Amino acid sequence: MKSLKHIYFDTRAIGEHGIGKCAQEIYKRLPTITPFHNQHNPTSALDCIRLSWALWRLQAKFFYTPGYNPPLFFKGKLVITVHDLNHIDRPEQASFLKTIYYQFVLKRACKKAAYVLTSSTYFKKRVTDWANIPSEKVLAIPIGADNIYTPDGEKLQLDYPYILCVSNRRPHKNEARLIEAFAKANINSEIKLIFSGNPAPESAILLAKYGVENRILFAGIIPEAQLPNYYRGAIAFVFPSLYEGFGLPPLEAMACGCPVVASNSTSIPEVCGDAVLYFDPLNTLEMSEKITEVINNPMLQLTLKQRGIDKAKEYSWDNTVVSIQQYLNKL
């Protein structure tokens, strides 16, 4: 393996979930890369300036950021990751400051970068069009699921059967429509819907509106070590999101042998292929019908389970990092 000691990797992005998890998985597979870390908050509006100064002081010639944090000024070669364009594509996520940042910092960085990494061909095209840059320097490199996500292992045992949704309370996750669809699904009333995370202030209002206060639960923050147990124990996994740069939870569910019912939006069909049952995420009736179909059809569950296991084998963090390193070696 060629040494990457000359490349600084922004370790400030490392965390337990989402982008942070991606950064962690990549970093631990690049043992020769040089970590970059300082005390400044990477989410600060001034970070792009402070980062520029820090890299100048280090006399850095190569910088790889696995998040959305490029330097404003950098004369060296830059590799930047754009996971999605949620803050400009989704009106509810947008703000004046975010628009300024994306237009004058992120887009500028994409134009100057040696490579721009995305995790799907859907977003490769979206980023290419948005930044108006050559498509050959925008790379679609799929991410992977951790090795703990397998069909073999402990299942969560509860006193009731359940459907699982690993998500958060952001509007583009489309949970309000899922709550309505679940309430209207023609399934056994003993079946509950479990959301990961804590309820939002408006969650109780939604549950009361559809009369499902006793059938929908919020599990709180689920430690990753326990998450495979939730997937394995579920009758099905439902993912109603309106917008995803990749869509990791359906991949994790498939890897655990859990039948998946998912939105046909953005990158999700590209990632999941023919291994899931799709619905229009804006059509609550269709969502409800698909939930009903998979819950009431054990043979369909078995088909989706096996297809999902097979499809998930196409993705791994090792393959992801091998592909990334091929391009880092060219810097």
Looking at per-residue pLDDT, the higher value among 99 and 300 belongs to: 300
Q: Please report, for residues 27, 37, 68, 322, 327, the alpha-carbon distance to residue 12 in angstroms, rounded to integers and kept in the order given.
A: 11, 6, 11, 22, 22
Instruction: Give the single-character DSSP code of 102.
Output: I
pTM of the model as a whole: 0.94
Kindly tell me if the per-residue pLDDT of 17 is higher than 80.
no
For the cut 80, the answer to whether the pLDDT of residue 1 exceeds it is no
* pLDDT, tens only, 119-153: 999 999 999 999 999 999 999 999 999 999 999 99
Q: Which residues pair with 79 in a beta bridge?
A: 64, 115
Q: Where in the sequence of the chain do the CATH 3.40.50.2000 domains occur?
A: 8-144+316-328, 162-312
Residue 232 to residue 216: CA distance in whole angstroms: 19
Residue showing tokens 């709180």: 220
Residue 189 CA, chain-centre distance (Å), reads 31
DSSP assignments along 166-215, one per residue: ---S-GGG-HHHHHHHHHHS-S-TT-EEEESBPPPTTHHHHHHHTT-TTT
Report the chain's terminal Cα–Cα distance, integer Å. Answer: 15
Task: Tell me what percent of the residues of the chain surpass a pLDDT of 70.
Answer: 100
What does the pLDDT read at residue 197? 96
CATH topology of domain 8-144+316-328: Rossmann fold (3.40.50)
pLDDT tens-digit series, residues 63-95:
999 988 999 999 999 999 999 999 999 988 888
Burial zone of 223 (CB within 10 Å; 0-12 exposed, 13-18 middle, 19+ buried) = exposed
pLDDT tens digit sequence for 241-287: 999 999 999 999 999 999 999 999 999 999 999 999 999 999 999 99
Is the pLDDT reported for residue 2 higher than 80? no
The CATH code of the domain at 162-312 is 3.40.50.2000
